[in-house]
């Protein structure tokens, strides 16, 4: 499959790009570092809609949700796949003041997912909520952070397991630890 991934040059997006490439998928990477800012919706939608699968990973304000709607409107009548990278934080009741805006942005993405998944569409949506993931080598978030490669492999392995058994995976909330 041909997979478009926003935020592919670092963290979770980069790890998904590596794993999916290793497993035979063609990856179309779209990151701010290579001039593909998700805030430039008209520019970034073109390369995405040419693919079969979109991993909506990059987050910048509410642009991640806006991008979801732009792509979904192009794909709603096609058998394509969109993974939305949200956050476990969106379901938590309290967060530090500094994280309240981010939490609201991820809650908006969650709500868009729930709205779209209940519409008549051939396009499949999967909401993936990471817990704390060590996305950079210098990340020392502590013992409660999952190594990015382990976390991404668990998501891809779960997806492949379900696909082989004709199971419909719709949401994953995957943290680390007991």
Q: What does the pLDDT read at residue 77?
A: 97
Q: Give 72-101 pLDDT, tens digit per residue.
A: 999 999 999 999 999 988 887 777 888 899
Q: Output the pLDDT for position 20.
A: 98
Question: How far is residue 148's CA from residue 156's CA, in Å, rounded to a whole number?
Answer: 12
Residue with tokens 């991640």: 64
Residue 86 structural domain: 2-174
The CATH code of the domain that includes 129 is 3.40.50.720
Instruction: Please choose, from the candidates 129, 115, 108, 9, the residue with its C-alpha nearest in 3D space to the C-alpha of residue 72.
Output: 115
Could you tell me the pLDDT band of residue 146, with boundaries at 50, 70 and 90?
Answer: confident
Residues 6+ apart with CB under 8 A from 89: 95, 99, 102, 103, 106
- Look at residue 134 in the predicted model and tell me its pLDDT: 76
Indicate if the pLDDT at residue 44 is higher than 70: yes
**CA nearest 21: which of 156, 159, 170, 158?**
156
Lowest mean pLDDT among 47-61, 85-99, 135-149, 150-164: 135-149
Number of domains in the chain: 1
- C-alpha 38/C-alpha 9 separation (Å) is 13
- Is 143's pLDDT higher than 70? no
């Amino acid at each position: 499959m041909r997979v478009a991934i926003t935020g592919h040059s670092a963290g979770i997006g980069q790890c998904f790009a590596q794993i999916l490439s290793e497993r035979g998928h063609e990856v179309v990477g779209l990151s701010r570092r290579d001039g593909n800012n998700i805030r430039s919706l008209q520019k970034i939608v073109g390369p995405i809609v040419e693919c079969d699968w979109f991993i909506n990973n990059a987050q910048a304000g509410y642009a991640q949700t806006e991008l979801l709607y732009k792509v979904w409107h192009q794909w709603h009548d096609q058998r394509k796949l969109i993974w939305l990278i949200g956050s476990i934080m969106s379901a938590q009741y309290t967060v530090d003041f500094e994280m309240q805006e981010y939490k609201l942005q991820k809650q908006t993405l969650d709500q868009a997912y729930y709205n779209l998944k209940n519409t008549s569409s051939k396009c499949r949506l999967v909401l993936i909520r990471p817990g704390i993931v060590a996305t950079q080598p210098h990340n020392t978030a502590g013992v409660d952070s999952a190594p990015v490669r382990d976390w991404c492999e668990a998501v891809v392995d779960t997806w492949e397991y379900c696909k082989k058994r004709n199971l419909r995976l719709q949401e994953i909330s995957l943290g680390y630890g007991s």
